Homo-oligomer: A and B are copies of this chain.
Amino acid sequence: MLVSEIKIRVRYGETDQMGYAYYGIYAQYYEVGRVETMRTLGFSYKDVENKGIMMPVLEYNIKYKKPAYYDDELTLVTKLTEIPGGVKLTFATACYNQNKELLNSGFVTLAIIDKNTNKPCRLPDWFLDELKKFF
């Protein structure tokens, strides 16, 4: 299994008048988590795009248990639980605060798109080869 952790501090501009981190900001946090998971493989998502693969989001689901507050230091734990066989990729994410409380969890399913054809494709070998080392 591929797992990574990254810490993100809640910015003032990310809070709302309820005093919570806005529910919509987690799409960015989860994306930062995914990016760091890929970096574990030895390349960045920037490299992936430069090599001709785009990964737009197909589905995003998040369940909120507790709010985060301004200046909280969150830990995003992102997992890829299986080697994707098809033209999609699903990351599971859990978000904890500095007291190790689970704040929310969810998943994001990405399409794998060949930028040249603009069509769905399987993960290229250079990506799969690195990924297999973790399974």
Contacts and interface: CB of A to CB of B under 8 A. Distances in A.
Contacts of A63: 58-59
Interface string A48-82: 00000010111111111001001100000000000
Contacts of A70: 17, 46
Given A56-B67, A71-B45, A16 B18 contact: no
Interface stretch (A20-28, A84-92, A93-101): A20-28
Interface residues on A, range: 35 or more
Given A46-B70, A56-B20, A71-B46, A11 B27 contact: no
B71 A64 contact: no
A31 interface: yes
Contacts of A25: 13, 24
Given A23-B60, A61-B61, 17 more contacts: A11-B32, A12-B31, A13-B16, A13-B23, A13-B24, A14-B28, A15-B17, A17-B70, A22-B27, A23-B57, A24-B25, A24-B31, A35-B71, A46-B71, A59-B62, A60-B64, A61-B62
